């Protein structure tokens, strides 16, 4: 439905986007994930019409989107701050865009009632924004965005203002809403968990470029670059040279894994913490440096001679090991990923 082809945007000497190409399907929940300053919000603003790229094209259903002014695009942007009108009721906030289109009053009433029911705010239509919780204000902003039935809904860090519990609830709510209304969602976030739980596919950005586009599970289990392996979730990275189907390291010899790299070239072996065993019969010997308990999971940091950073292992429940204990770390070769460095 949406095709972004070789889009670049520069601000003076700063390159915000460089040759970005993406294809987003009808009804897809698509996430732009990356650290602050990587260009993801600039791309969102280009789609909304608030920025013009220096080069490249953007088409929606085959038509040139860049040729249309912001108010003529079938696109809505939900701001990070929600940007609700404080002097208007919930119902008036939601109706505002429809009133600007001079729709019939009965039609406006019907569509506002329908969308407030969809977001679970039917009983709060008469309240002002200051009388609502953070989660409720976010629902109002969503209702206002979807009531105009855009082809594309852009969300800029939509859950960043919410606390952890409300954010988890709203992630489920967003996913339900997207399936229910059938609008294509493009969400910008720097929160990996948020992107993984919400999106059908994720584009990982770094320094204005797209590093990898994949479904959440593939992105997590098969990162293709060092940046993706390091940015998306926790990872243990071992540096060496690719040879004989593994990564040959100075400190630990040949470490086997899955994937290919250039023979004789610098390579990385990436192992997720949950794949690391603490009681391996043979492997890397180390000393437990720290144990952190997170309820369902414990993170165990192990200092291994010859490795610059502690190796992280994740174990279910409360860990039985204590700081200072000696352990032997190991993992199955199929659980380790080889990446070109």
**Mean pLDDT score of the chain, rounded to an integer?**
90
Longest dimension (CA), the chain: 74
> Which strand (E) or helix (H) includes residue 24?
strand 14-24
CA dist 171 and 230 (Å) reads 24
In this chain, the answer to whether the domains covering 2-221 and 235-340 adopt an identical fold is no
Q: Which residues have CB under 8 Å from 237's CB, separation 6+? A: 226, 229, 230, 268, 269, 270
Q: Residues 159, 82: contact at Cβ < 8 Å?
A: no
pLDDT digits (tens, 9 = 90+) for 197-232: 889 999 999 999 999 999 999 999 999 999 999 999
Tokens in use for 290? 């720290």
Q: What pLDDT shows up at residue 106?
A: 92
| Cβ–Cβ under 8 Å, residues 269 and 250 | no
pLDDT band at 161 (very low <50, low <70, confident <90, very high): low
CA 94 to chain CA centroid, nearest Å: 27
The pTM of this model reads 0.86
- Look at residue 144 and tell me whether its pLDDT is greater than 70: yes
User: From the CA atom positions of the chain, what is the Rg in Å?
Assistant: 24
pLDDT tens-digit map of 236-278: 999 999 998 899 999 999 999 998 888 889 999 999 999 999 9
From CA 231, how far away is CA 216, in angstroms rounded?
Answer: 13
d(CA 174, CA 197): 10
Contact yes or no for 145/184 (Cβ under 8 A): no
How far out from the chain centre does Cα 14 lie?
24
Which residues lie closer than 8 Å to 320 by C-beta, 6 or more apart? none
Report the pLDDT averaged over residues 37-55: 93
Within 10 angstroms of residue 22's Cβ, the number of other Cβ atoms is 18
pLDDT of residue 227: 94
Residues 6+ apart with CB under 8 A from 266: 239, 240, 241, 242, 340, 341
Contacts 24+ apart (CB under 8 A), 119-124: 119/143, 119/173, 119/177, 120/173, 121/90, 124/90
pLDDT at 213: 97
| The domain defined by 2-221 carries CATH number 3.30.365.10 | no
Report how far residue 193's alpha carbon sits from residue 199's, in angstroms, rounded to the nearest whole number: 10
- Bin 208: left if φ > 0, else alpha if -120 < ψ < 50, else beta: left
Boundaries of every domain in the chain: 2-221, 235-340
d(CA 334, CA 341): 19
Q: What is the pLDDT of residues 280-327, one digit of tens each?
A: 778 899 999 999 998 889 999 999 999 999 999 999 988 889 999 999
Q: According to CATH, what is the number of the domain 235-340?
A: 2.40.50.140
| pLDDT value, residue 207 | 92
Torsion angle defined by CA atoms of residues 297, 299, 300 and 306, in that order, rounded to the nearest 10 degrees: 140
What digits encode the pLDDT tens for the residues 90-117? Answer: 999 999 988 888 888 999 999 899 888 8
**By mean pLDDT, which of 41-50, 130-139, 239-248 is the weakest?**
130-139
User: Which of 5, 75, 87, 25 has the alpha carbon at shortest distance from 47?
Assistant: 75
Q: What percent of the chain has pLDDT over 90?
A: 60
Nearest residue to 20 (alpha-carbon basis) of 12, 34, 152, 125: 34
Residues 6+ apart with CB under 8 A from 68: 49
Closest CA to 210 of 65, 67, 4, 55: 4
């Amino acid at each position: 439905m949406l095709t972004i082809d070789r889009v670049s945007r520069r601000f003076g000497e700063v390159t915000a986007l460089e040759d970005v190409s993406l294809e987003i399907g009808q009804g897809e929940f698509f996430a732009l994930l990356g650290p602050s300053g990587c260009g993801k919000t600039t791309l969102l603003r280009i789609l909304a019409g608030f920025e013009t790229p220096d080069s490249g094209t953007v088409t929606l259903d085959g038509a040139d989107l860049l040729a249309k002014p912001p108010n003529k695009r079938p696109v809505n942007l939900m701001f990070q701050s929600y940007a609700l009108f404080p002097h208007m009721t919930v119902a008036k906030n939601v109706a505002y865009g429809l009133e600007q289109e001079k729709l019939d009053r009965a039609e406006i009433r019907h569509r506002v009632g329908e969308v407030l029911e969809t977001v679970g705010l039917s009983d709060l239509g008469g309240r002002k924004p200051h009388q609502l919780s953070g989660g409720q204000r976010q629902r109002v902003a969503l209702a206002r965005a979807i009531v105009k039935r855009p082809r594309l809904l852009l969300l800029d860090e939509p859950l960043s203002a919410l606390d952890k519990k409300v954010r988890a609830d709203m992630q489920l709510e967003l996913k339900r809403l997207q399936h229910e209304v059938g609008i294509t969602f493009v969400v910008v976030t720097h929160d990996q968990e948020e992107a993984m739980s919400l999106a059908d596919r994720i584009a990982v950005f770094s320094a204005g470029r797209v590093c990898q586009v994949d479904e959440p599970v593939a992105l997590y289990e098969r990162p293709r670059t060092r940046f993706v392996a390091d940015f998306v979730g926790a990872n243990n990275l071992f540096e060496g040279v690719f040879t004989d189907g593994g990564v040959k390291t100075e400190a630990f010899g040949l470490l086997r894994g899955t994937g290919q790299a250039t023979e004789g070239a610098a390579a990385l072996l990436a192992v997720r913490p949950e794949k690391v065993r603490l009681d391996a019969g043979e492997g890397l010997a180390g000393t437990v440096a720290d144990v952190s308990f997170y309820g369902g999971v414990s993170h165990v940091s192990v200092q291994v001679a010859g490795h610059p950073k502690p190796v992280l292992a994740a174990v279910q429940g409360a860990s039985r090991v204590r700081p200072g204990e000696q352990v032997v770390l190991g993992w199955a070769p199929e659980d380790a990923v080889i990446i070109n460095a």
